[in-house]
Amino acid sequence: MRILVIEDNQDIAANLGDFLEDCGYTVDFAADGVTGLHLAVVNEFDAIVLDLNLPGMDGLEVCRKLRQEARKNTPILMLTARDALEQKLAGFESGADDYLVKPFALQEVKARLQVIARRGKGVGPRVLQVDDLEFNLDTLEVVREGKSITLNPTALKILQALMEASPSVVTRQDLETRVWGEELPDSDSLRVHIHGLRAAIDKPFGRPLIHTRHGIGYRIAPETAG
């Protein structure tokens, strides 16, 4: 497993790191909340050990930003010297998966990390995101700028194909095969559905996301994307 330890106490961080590395884990470190949040957003970890009291940005804020803004579902084990119930509840409300009070046994850290990492695999909504457009593949909800968008099943299939490939172009042939399989429709059907998709997710908003590559196909991406 790859673990991120966000802990400003050098002795605790070193002890955790040495122990977890001896267990065969790969460990990255951050000594403040801002650095820890950055590492957690730009990298993929199996779990995060997050101290509550951190310089720059405390653990609760790191956890909230990771869940609500970055939409990362990486399992989080929160560490703190506080044993008050309200602090534990605040940790869970911010998005932590488990809570451990200092001082703690290293073997218990390992056991809890294994549990939340197993729990985290395959858990959490499957959400595609391109710019301010989101498509939840589990609930089939499409949202842009916080506004819900209703699409028919064919439009949802086209949108999923475009968003999964973003920012690359998806050819007309690939789109038609993805949506209709071997029973291809008449030549205008895809164009009509793309027109309807644009009317739903582009027209009401300030910036178009669906772009035509004439003679090739379509792509979905911000206008500035290459």
Q: What's the pLDDT tens digit per position in 158-184? A: 999 999 888 999 999 888 888 887 777
Whether residue 44 is predicted with pLDDT greater than 80 in this model: the reply is: yes
Task: Report the C-alpha gap between 40 and 145 in whole angstroms.
Answer: 25
Strand order across the 141-144 sheet: 127-130, 133-136, 141-144, 147-149
Whether residue 83 is predicted with pLDDT greater than 70 in this model: the reply is: no
Looking at the fold, whether 10 and 116 belong to one and the same domain comes out as: yes
Instruction: Decide if 225 is inside a domain.
Output: no
Q: Of the given ranges (80-84, 113-117, 219-223), which has the lowest mean pLDDT?
A: 80-84
Going by C-alpha positions, the residue among 90, 89, 88, 37 that lies closest to residue 67 is: 37
Question: Quick one: average pLDDT of 91-116?
Answer: 87
Q: What is the mean pLDDT of the chain?
A: 88
Whether residue 3 is predicted with pLDDT greater than 70 in this model: the reply is: yes
* Beta pairing partners, 127: 136
Whether residue 203 is predicted with pLDDT greater than 80 in this model: the reply is: yes
Query: What token pair was written down for 26?
Result: 């790969």
Q: Is the entire prediction scored with pTM above 0.95?
A: no
* Amino acid at site 153: P
Bigger pLDDT: 116 or 47? 47
Bigger pLDDT: 184 or 22? 22
Predicted pLDDT of residue 69: 86
Strand order across the 170-171 sheet: 170-171, 217-220, 210-213
Last residue of a domain, one of 104, 120, 136: 120
Predicted pLDDT of residue 93: 82
Count of structural domains within the chain: 2
Looking at the fold, whether 94 and 183 belong to one and the same domain comes out as: no
Which range of residues forms the domain containing residue 200? 127-220
* Beta pairing partners, 219: 211
* Beta pairing partners, 134: 129, 143
* Beta pairing partners, 143: 134, 148
**Helix%, strand%, coil% for the chain, nearest 5:** 40, 20, 35
Instruction: Decide if 226 is inside a domain.
Output: no
Phi/psi at 6 (nearest 5 deg)?
A: -110, 100
Looking at the fold, whether 111 and 149 belong to one and the same domain comes out as: no
Looking at the fold, whether 134 and 116 belong to one and the same domain comes out as: no
Phi/psi at 223 (nearest 5 deg)?
A: -60, -30
Predicted pLDDT of residue 136: 87
Looking at the fold, whether 98 and 198 belong to one and the same domain comes out as: no
Predicted pLDDT of residue 120: 62
Helix (H, G, I), strand (E, B) or coil at 62: helix
- CATH number of the domain to which 180 belongs: 1.10.10.10
- CATH number of the domain to which 110 belongs: 3.40.50.2300
Predicted pLDDT of residue 206: 84
